[in-house]
Structure 1
Amino acid sequence: MAEFQSESTSSLDPILDLLLSVGYADARKTDISASKRLSGGLAWCVAAVNSDGPRFDEVPDDETLTQQEEIEIGKQGIEESLRSMGCPHSLEDYQIETLDCNAIFPVVQWLVNRIRLSLSDDENQQELNVMNQLKLLRERIDKEGASIAVQKLISLMESLKHLERQESEFQPNCNVTRLELQAEVIELEGRIASGCDRKSLSHSLNQSFIEPLEKLNSAKRELAARYRAIVAVKRQLDDVPSQSELIQYERRFSELYVHIQEKLRQTRKCYGTYNALLEIKELMLKETSLLNSISSQFQDAITSTAGRMKLIDSMEGIVKSSQQVIVISPPLQL
């Protein structure tokens, strides 16, 4: 008996390895009987195949398998479920109970291949969806002209960084010039203290102040020009609309388009009503003129037989022409 159990366990290992490879965690639990592990693994594989291609990270283990799926498989039976799925290998319930590995192994292998095929198809479909989304995103960027705006924004940012770098390089030069001027002031103070010639000292002071003052004014003008350039670049950066503003503009244009279409429809309806009323007016004027003509001729025509016959013929002609107009003319729509 021990030899039979050992042989059954060794024959069952490839089947449990297949179940474990697709995510059935109870395949290696020793506290569960081999029959229960095998039936649970078959039920789990049937539920996984019927879930339209589960992913490895989404395949439920024996604890997360829903009770509804377990009850449904329990009602139909593993044998009936495999038959309805079109399994090419037959499997009876007693073969599961008796651990007939020769009959169970091809069934498990077929179920595992179905699961792996579903996983492969699902991964290919996800890759195709990602490629389609990237294509739609590129088309939307090209359609909205966002790439041009981004390139312009990048160019402005580079210009701003270049100006800031020049400003940072200009600051040390100003500090060096300030130190030179302070040294000259100290030298002049020393000369004044030593009692040198006042006239030559005054001339020297004037010469010493004129050149640094010109440099200082020139530096101030250059600094002001650079500052104006930086402000202009910042203003251009502020003028570039953000993504949320572009989305808002698109929404407003869509609302304006719908409003224009509604106004156009109302305008066409008004034109149609006007044309219909104009035709009615012309017909009423013709009818009024016809009635006036009949009224003016009636008294003269009624006094004689020939006049009456002529009036009857005239009325019949008017009726025929009116009927022809009614048949030819389309119905008026108000």
Structure 2
Amino acid sequence: MQEGSSEQEFNSIRASIAMLNSNLDQQNQRKISVLNELQNLQEKIRKEGAESKVKKFVSLLENLKLLERQESEIRCDFDEKRSSLEAEVSDLEEKIAAGSDSKMLSRGLDGSLNESLQKLNSAKRELAAKLRAIVSIKRQLDDAPSQSELIQYECRLSELNAHIQEKLQQTRKFYATYNALLEIKELMLKETSLLNSINSQFQEAIASTTGRMKLLESMQGIVKGSQQKLGKVQLGLQEEQKVCDALKERYTAAMAEQRRCYSLLKAFQEECARNEKLQSQTSA
């Protein structure tokens, strides 16, 4: 009965070793798939010129290399443990074949089995930790946007930029209109107050020579201020006219460039049709 139980325990140890070997093979396959995905992502990065993602992938590669080094260390440790377990198994088989004392054999077997189980459990925990690290790196790689997603982001950003520019132009136009109307209001209020002042003081000022002189001087000052204000407005109008002329020139150049592009596109389409026709004739 004891020999049968010993053989069962040996079989369980061998099954554990086989399971660890299968886990290592699965980890190697996952590592190879992760490396292939990293190579594909690096090629996409080089094609798309996404420099912002390169640093992230470099850090992921460094983590993967660190995991590979740790995995090699675990592999070496596991090989040593497996060789020691195989040596112990072979030793126990020799003892069983030699017919050694069953009590001593069972004691040694229990101790070796406990130690072997502890080693197997520690190896399983280390392998599980490495697998979790590889899965987390794979998730980080999956979080990186693909080429189609980047194109969609670029289209949405361009649309948002055009919408923002349109709103900005409308806001500037409204502010300019408001400022112009506010300036007109201020000028009309000044004109109204000036007319009211002249109307209230005209009879008193015209009654005496001194009053007439003061009235004349004040009117000259008013005319001078109005001329200065008119000069500033004219300067602003000239500047706005220059800007308008520059925009018209740019618009004319853009229209000419558009017509040229249309003519080139039409010529290109004609050449493409001609090329297809020649290819069809050649194939026929």
State the TM-score, normalizing by the size of structure 2.
0.45
Q: Which has a greater percent of helix?
A: 2
State the TM-score, normalizing by the size of structure 1.
0.40
